[in-house]
Amino acid sequence: MAIPQIELYQVPSHIMLNRPALPWTPTPERAALLIHDMQNHFLKPYASQAFVDALVQRIQALRSTCHDLGIPVFYTAQPGNQQVESRGLLCDFWGPGLAEDGVSPGIVAGLAPDPQRDVMLVKHRYSAFARSDLLERLQLAGRDQLIICGVYAHIGCLTTATDAFMADIQPFVVADALGDFSLERHQLALEHMAHCSSVVLSTQQLLDALAPAQVAHDIPGDIARCLALPLERVAEMDDPVELGLDSVRLLMLFEQWQQAGLPVSFLELLERRSIRAWVQLIELRLQVQASGASV
């Protein structure tokens, strides 16, 4: 069957777990990023270009951070004009596959791999590990964590996460940096991965986990986004109350910062009526944590 037209849906950014969270944390020294099947052929069925643009932007943020932190970046892409013998049972499910027309096999605009830094893997089956040297490359680089984004969540991304788990590679699935056929399929894929193989988290949670020491510097940005204000105004005024940050919104921000691992209490935020003071306190705590001391 052909890939159906995919109608616009709201991408989920988290799921509710019915079991304790895994004690896995992505780190720059152990992780690799996989950008899965972000080819024109697989993105063409989306009825909403805005959906595709938002997906690309989230993956761009992941890739940029990984490049900055020295995290290896891998892409998968299916070749065009595959022979029936090579394509195998995929023909029965999805037909002949991609045409070699100069457009369909290409990576979507805005995500072209950097030939000097990124590795392109030829995709043959649902899993990025099938008939590829991805596992060998990860092992050679000393990487035992794989961050997964791209399309489609319930097919290749799920299968790749399962294969990673089976090879003792910790999968981290970025919920809102995936695309699927529908919200239902997307949600089911996340639940399956979370309960069987993976840590599921949002783009922002993943970025914060990779670079926690940089989070404090974005506190003004978080406040500006929460209040829908220009960042310049937040920087000028400093007083959160005068900016309109009431206790309800502050609690929402505190929960976000707590999930990101920032070492500060809600009471400490209330006691300090200064955004700069919040940043200074958190930066000090992070520096102390990095040194192994206590405060």
Q: Could you tell me which of 213, 210, 215, 152 has the C-alpha nearest to residue 24?
A: 210
Please tell me the distance from the alpha carbon of residue 32 to that of residue 200, in angstroms, as a whole number.
Answer: 16
Q: Is the dihedral of CA 208, 212, 215, 217 positive or negative?
A: negative
Tokens describing residue 221: 């940005």
Contact 206, 147 (CB under 8 A): yes
The DSSP 8-state label assigned to residue 281 in this structure reads: H
Query: Could you check whether the bond before residue 152 is cis, i.e. omega within 30 degrees of 0?
Result: yes
What's the chain's length in residues? 295
Report the catalytic residues: 36-37, 123
Please tell me the distance from the alpha carbon of residue 78 to that of residue 76, in angstroms, as a whole number.
Answer: 7
- Helix intervals (H) in the chain: 40-43, 49-69, 84-87, 90-94, 134-140, 158-166, 183-196, 203-210, 219-227, 231-237, 240-243, 247-259, 266-271, 275-291
Q: Could you tell me which of 162, 161, 191 has the C-alpha nearest to residue 173?
A: 161
